[in-house]
Chain A
Amino acid sequence: QKEVEQDPGPLSVPEGAIVSLNCTYSNSAFQYFMWYRQYSRKGPELLMYTYSSGNKEDGRFTAQVDKSSKYISLFIRDSQPSDSATYLCAMSAGNNDMRFGAGTRLTVKP
């Protein structure tokens, strides 16, 4: 079993839809949680960063962490074609170890 599980998709939604992306993990020591966005043929770029449990909002993006369920989510409101990319979750226990999910490929259709 992988330490970080992420559904690879692909996920296709119409423009304006609410998108929900999720990861589950097995290591209860993880306390730093990140979402990276990767456009085709590009390197990943940090989208959201959360420490421990709770919610964090940034514009149309909301990151949620539920440590009791070992489950993190990224919500995208009013999705746009420019949101079409692969979204990678990443997490760490803060001990010089960090794990990435495999990524979910999202397409937002006009």
Chain B
Amino acid sequence: NAGVTQTPKFQVLKTGQSMTLQCAQDMNHNSMYWYRQDPGMGLRLIYYSASEGTTDKGEVPNGYNVSRLNKREFSLRLESAAPSQTSVYFCASSFRRRETGELFFGEGSRLTVL
């Protein structure tokens, strides 16, 4: 039972490069999320998708775009990476709304922007 799978697990970019983080869940969850985790800041929501076909901004959406490709997959794109986007990125999913239900997280993608 894979749960939430993120790729890649590690990535180093130069300033200005672009990349896409991929996420897939096999739990038939309706909602999916992208968070970033920085020391001393906790988890902050970048974007979320409450259901297939919808996406909404979270707390820190600037510099990111997302695509809910289907019910299983939710990708996060950095169009022009900046050093401030160096972080650990987590994808999560939930059956119900995240504030009333359990979030299931992937293992994270560690991104360094030089």
| Contact (Cβ within 8 A) A43 B107 | yes
- Interface size classification for chain B: 20 to 34
A-facing residues in B38-83 (Cβ within 8 Å) = 39-45, 50
Shortest beta-carbon distance, A47 to chain B, in Å? 10
Which residues of A have CB within 8 Å of B106?
43
Which residues of A have CB within 8 Å of B44?
100
| Contact (Cβ within 8 A) B97 A96 | yes
B-facing residues in A70-110 (Cβ within 8 Å) = 88, 90, 92-103
A19 to B107, CA, bound (A): 26
| B1 interface residue (CB < 8 Å to A) | no
Task: Tell which of B41, B45, B92 touches A102, judged by Cβ atoms closer than 8 Å.
Answer: B41
A-facing residues in B1-35 (Cβ within 8 Å) = 4
Q: Chain B binding site: helix, strand, loop or mixed by DSSP?
A: loop
Shortest beta-carbon distance, A41 to chain B, in Å? 7
Given A41-B108, A43-B107, CB of A32 within 8 Å of CB of B99: yes
| Contact (Cβ within 8 A) B4 A43 | yes
Shortest beta-carbon distance, B22 to chain A, in Å? 15
| Contact (Cβ within 8 A) B42 A32 | no
11 A-B interface contacts by CB (under 8 A): A36-B103, A42-B107, A42-B108, A43-B4, A43-B90, A46-B102, A46-B103, A92-B100, A96-B97, A100-B44, A102-B39
- Beyond contacts A8-B40, A32-B100: 17 other A-B pairs, Cβ-Cβ < 8 A, are A4-B42, A42-B108, A43-B92, A43-B105, A45-B104, A46-B102, A49-B102, A90-B43, A92-B99, A93-B99, A94-B99, A94-B100, A95-B99, A98-B98, A98-B99, A100-B43, A102-B39
Chain A to chain B: the 10 pairs with minimum beta-carbon distance, closest first: A43-B105, A92-B99, A100-B42, A100-B43, A102-B42, A46-B102, A98-B99, A44-B105, A43-B107, A32-B99
